[in-house]
Structure 1
């Protein structure tokens, strides 16, 4: 039996993307940020944490120490190079075999369905609980969300439904994701736990003076993986629709994955057709550089078709920058409409331009949103997020202990 004071041995499985990679690189996004920060805080609480991911480059070491008590391990499954995201389904079994050959842990927490399909049989073989986080969930072709959420590989919908049924616990990052797990996958509400993300409010912090003014056009930021799901086209068209005297530059932070290698050029062409000259593509940014970029921005735009939460919106809030976001999934929770930013149902560029104009032309409104955004973000931190995870883990281990004791009593 593991006592409440005993440190846990925790495996966090991220098959297709490494939490050691900067957000916006390839397929590295909000999931990577969540896993990395939660892992760091779990280790700081005294637990032994291992992040397991697929080797995607020949020069990656077998393991890498990220912090005291926190190790990143690269498992050989498929070619040691970057792959298109959907291709990873072909290497689930191989990754599972590599995982199963490792020393057992107390609990396995899988992130994304590839990871869950590899880790669930290993957890069963080791006799330990399996926790599943999805981070995104496929929509079938009949779904009204299908334009933004096409299934990425043939077995995804079946795999996600199986994981929702068979995992010992499910972790959602927002109430919106919890509802999707229940409604789309049939996941049990009693086994679904909402664990909100956090933000480093020391790193992501405001400028001493509010960014910009009514006469300083400054810049707006959109930070995301460069793929259609993230709605970069809407950001470009909306900025272009602003009056020239009010229009900020647009800074695009992020890069395209293997799946969307031609998408960056499409965005350049769209900006040229829209007559938007004030646009800069700065590539993926480290957290420190992203924080600096946000700190100087007048607005952060999150025009995604779908987000389970929208961590960028929370990081912008901590930076004291108003957010204009689409009413997609968890963004309704990350942004408090009319208080910390504006949440828009429409995807019409003109509507977005009008919303941005409200903030850009009214320094008082911009300051009110900035102060409220910072206050909102201060209520969320990674320590609280990690502590919530530990409660989920401990609860499962207690249940397993009680079940074993009951079995022995009746045997």
Structure 2
């Protein structure tokens, strides 16, 4: 089996936590790795961003990342990438022709890739499997009043993909309902595949590991530590955590707490300075610290150094950070949105907050920061809970989905004319 994965707007090899790189990058890289280890040939097609990358990057046996030149290497925002869809599709066609490659299935990730996949599905006469990761209609339904609205053009493009993909892969049952409610997706073409976590890398820290992690990060050993891991954009909710911190300090000016934000800016209106300035305005700048995104091998130290990981997103298709944190033995406080109620076992491995009111978040943080026994017990339970999610299991499901997709008959021109297309 040979799979053409498309991740046009962001490479799986990019550092998650900044720019457009996030949970989707982790998902694509880890599922592709596990598929390759099952003997499936996987090529991941992505947009070239610098000439030094080379056209083909051999990640491991059976897995390659193909950098397609489409438009300038730099200077195009994600919102401008639709102008390069034809160029990107042309680059994929040329690559497959030059190396005499035939793919059995196309698996596109995100709507930009889905548009390319839709074209190649009919050209190559192979099935299209699509994973949206985020949906315009859902983001608009959950965004704050001052956040940028997703365009109607994107929603229309997503509707076209839903109408034409052979199978739609989602992370949770909630995403299934979102596709049915907002895009009239046929339920029989939707398959749920839970993402995973690298539970061999993300492991609980011993007291010595926690001490070492805090020393590496420059965090006093006696402090209670709350960590935020992810892109610094309004939709991820960093402002909620800054304001909740201010509420905590207002309640107890002598509280020994540090809040670490590990991530980079994403989007036109997001910079670290935005949230640093907010912390300064609220008088809590000395309690808040911002650090750059880390590769997974270093991100473990952030999870292990934290007493709590906060995920105040306005929506998450699943919530990989929540699972990675729990695998590392750290309880999670998360918003009760999207797939987070599946990722976090409320009351057992963390707490779910019903809204984004800073006072409600301060209440939840206070519950665990002030109750060492409960917090530690949750961290221990979190490790077991995280074992339910693995990339190997996700890849096993995907292989079966690809096999099902290959059995779908793609209508040829004669059949289309007979059916009245």
Q: Taking structure 1 as the reference length, what is the TM-score of the superposition? A: 0.91
Structure 2 residue 289 is the aligned partner of structure 1 residue 293: no
* Shift of residue 146, structure 1, vs aligned partner: 6.6
Q: Could you say which residue in structure 1 is the equivalent of 2:170?
A: 172
Q: Which SS does the other structure have where 1:74 is aligned?
A: strand
Q: Could you say which residue in structure 2 is the equivalent of 1:234?
A: 240
* Shift of residue 256, structure 1, vs aligned partner: 1.1
Asked whether the equivalents of residues 294 and 316 of structure 1 are also in contact (C-alpha less than 8 Å), the reply is yes
* Shift of residue 91, structure 1, vs aligned partner: 1.1
Q: Which SS does the other structure have where 2:51 is aligned?
A: coil
Of the three residues 386, 393, 396, the one matched with 2:405 is 396
Pairing of 1:194-343 with structure 2 (within 5 A):
194-209=192-207, 216-242=222-248, 243-257=252-266, 259-260=268-269, 263-276=271-284, 277-343=286-352
* Shift of residue 367, structure 1, vs aligned partner: 1.6
Return the alpha-carbon distance in structure 1 between the equivalents of residues 261 and 397 of structure 2: 33
Return 75-84 or 168-177, whichever deviates more: 75-84
Q: Could you say which residue in structure 2 is the equivalent of 1:5?
A: none
Q: Which SS does the other structure have where 1:59 is aligned?
A: helix
* Shift of residue 153, structure 1, vs aligned partner: 4.3
Structure 2 residue 14 is the aligned partner of structure 1 residue 14: no
C-alpha RMSD over aligned residues: 2.2
Asked whether the equivalents of residues 174 and 308 of structure 1 are also in contact (C-alpha less than 8 Å), the reply is yes
Return the alpha-carbon distance in structure 2 between the equivalents of residues 311 and 27 of structure 1: 16
In terms of fraction of residues, the more helix-rich structure is 2
* Shift of residue 118, structure 1, vs aligned partner: 1.1
Q: Could you say which residue in structure 2 is the equivalent of 1:72?
A: 65
Distance 1:135 1:147, change over 3 A: farther
Pairing of 1:124-143 with structure 2 (within 5 A):
124-139=122-137, 143=141
Q: Which SS does the other structure have where 2:53 is aligned?
A: coil
Return the alpha-carbon distance in structure 1 between the equivalents of residues 24 and 380 of structure 2: 27
* Shift of residue 245, structure 1, vs aligned partner: 3.5
* Shift of residue 274, structure 1, vs aligned partner: 1.4
Return the alpha-carbon distance in structure 2 between the equivalents of residues 41 and 140 of structure 1: 30
Return the alpha-carbon distance in structure 2 between the equivalents of residues 273 and 257 of structure 1: 22
Return the alpha-carbon distance in structure 1 between the equivalents of residues 123 and 148 of structure 2: 32
Q: Could you say which residue in structure 2 is the equivalent of 1:107?
A: 105
Query: Deviations along 1:250-292, whole A, 9 cap, x unmatched?
Result: 11111113534x5321111001011111222111110011111
Q: Which SS does the other structure have where 2:42 is aligned?
A: strand
* Shift of residue 148, structure 1, vs aligned partner: 8.6
Return the alpha-carbon distance in structure 1 between the equivalents of residues 2 and 145 of structure 2: 40
Query: Deviations along 1:14-67, whole A, 9 cap, x unmatched?
Result: 010011011112110000000000000000001111111011223221111111
* Shift of residue 141, structure 1, vs aligned partner: 9.8
* Shift of residue 100, structure 1, vs aligned partner: 2.1
Q: Could you say which residue in structure 2 is the equivalent of 1:42?
A: 35
Listed as ranges, the gaps of 5+ residues in structure 1 are: 1-7
Q: Could you say which residue in structure 1 is the equivalent of 2:419?
A: none
Asked whether the equivalents of residues 295 and 319 of structure 1 are also in contact (C-alpha less than 8 Å), the reply is yes
Asked whether the equivalents of residues 140 and 150 of structure 2 are also in contact (C-alpha less than 8 Å), the reply is no
Q: How many residues align?
A: 394
Structure 2 residue 57 is the aligned partner of structure 1 residue 59: no
Q: Which SS does the other structure have where 1:355 is aligned?
A: helix
Q: Could you say which residue in structure 2 is the equivalent of 1:4?
A: none
Q: Could you say which residue in structure 1 is the equivalent of 2:216?
A: none
Q: Taking structure 2 as the reference length, what is the TM-score of the superposition? A: 0.89
Asked whether the equivalents of residues 139 and 151 of structure 1 are also in contact (C-alpha less than 8 Å), the reply is no
Asked whether the equivalents of residues 140 and 150 of structure 1 are also in contact (C-alpha less than 8 Å), the reply is no
Q: Could you say which residue in structure 2 is the equivalent of 1:86?
A: 79
